[in-house]
């Protein structure tokens, strides 16, 4: 019998002034928008999905698995990293049931690309992923459009833990 487990995660990335940095959210490029700072492609939505899935697995977090000190992950495609996280879950005998994400950003508007973002994330995870865009209404660093934050909840199924040894 499989056990349902829930993981929760938060991630935030500031915008960068690097004119060559592309903005990637949920695997979708937003041309003409300022990019986010980060070691990989800085896809805050893919990152938060990965951490939410990793939470209940005891496999660590995205920073442990794909450290920003490792040159191999410089500019890495975060959807590929997310797919690797889902693969590691499957190696444990688990599956993702669904992931739900809330993104807080003054810009860009996610609604026009929402369906495409959800398709990309769902393909990487192998399960439905829903994304909701919210604004900070001018409050704080997010409200001043200094960056983008995201929260995610993942429901996963895992095999039961091994029974404790009989004494």
CATH number at residue 88: 3.30.1330.50
- Note down the domain range covering 40: 3-158
Name the pLDDT band for 163 (thresholds 50, 70, 90): confident
Report the pLDDT value the prediction gives residue 58, as an integer from 0 to 100. Answer: 87
Taking alpha carbons only, the member of 108, 88, 105, 94 closest to residue 158 is: 94
Question: What are the strands, taking DSSP E only, across 78-128?
Answer: 95-104
**Range name among 60-64, 72-76, 148-152, 156-160 with the lowest pLDDT average:** 72-76
pLDDT tens column, 18-73: 999 999 999 999 999 999 999 999 999 999 999 999 999 989 999 999 988 888 88
Within-domain flag for 163 = no
Q: Is residue 69 part of a domain?
A: yes
Residue 27, in any domain of the structure: yes
φ/ψ of residue 66, rounded to 5: -130, 70
Burial 111-131 (b: 16+ CB within 10 A, else e): eebbeebbebbbebbebebeb
Report the pLDDT averaged over residues 145-149: 96
Specify the pLDDT at position 145. Answer: 92
For residue 74, what pLDDT is reported? 83
The verdict on residue 164 lying in a domain is no
Q: What is the pLDDT of residues 93-146, one digit of tens each?
A: 999 999 999 999 999 999 999 999 999 999 999 999 999 999 999 999 999 999
Whether residue 121 lies inside any domain: the answer is yes
Report the number of distinct structural domains present in the chain: 1
Banded pLDDT at 154 (limits 50, 70, 90): very high
Higher model confidence: residue 124 or residue 75? 124
In a domain, 167, yes or no: no
Alpha carbons 58 and 82: distance in angstroms, whole number: 16
């Amino acid at each position: 019998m499989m056990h349902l487990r829930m993981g929760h995660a938060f991630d935030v990335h500031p915008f960068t002034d690097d004119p060559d940095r592309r903005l990637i959210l949920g695997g979708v490029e937003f041309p003409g928008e300022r990019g986010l700072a980060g070691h990989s492609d800085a896809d805050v939505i893919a990152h938060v999905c990965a951490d939410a899935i990793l939470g209940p697995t005891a496999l660590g977090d995205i920073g442990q698995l794909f450290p920003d000190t490792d040159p191999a992950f410089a500019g890495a495609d975060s959807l590929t990293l997310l797919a690797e996280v889902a693969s590691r879950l499957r190696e444990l005998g688990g599956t993702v049931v669904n992931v739900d994400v809330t993104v807080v950003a003054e810009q860009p508007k996610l609604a026009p690309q929402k369906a495409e973002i959800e398709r990309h994330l769902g393909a990487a995870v192998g399960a439905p992923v829903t994304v909701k865009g919210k604004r900070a209404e001018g409050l704080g660093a997010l409200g001043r459009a200094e960056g983008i934050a995201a929260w995610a909840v993942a429901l996963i199924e895992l095999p039961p833990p091994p029974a404790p040894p009989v004494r």
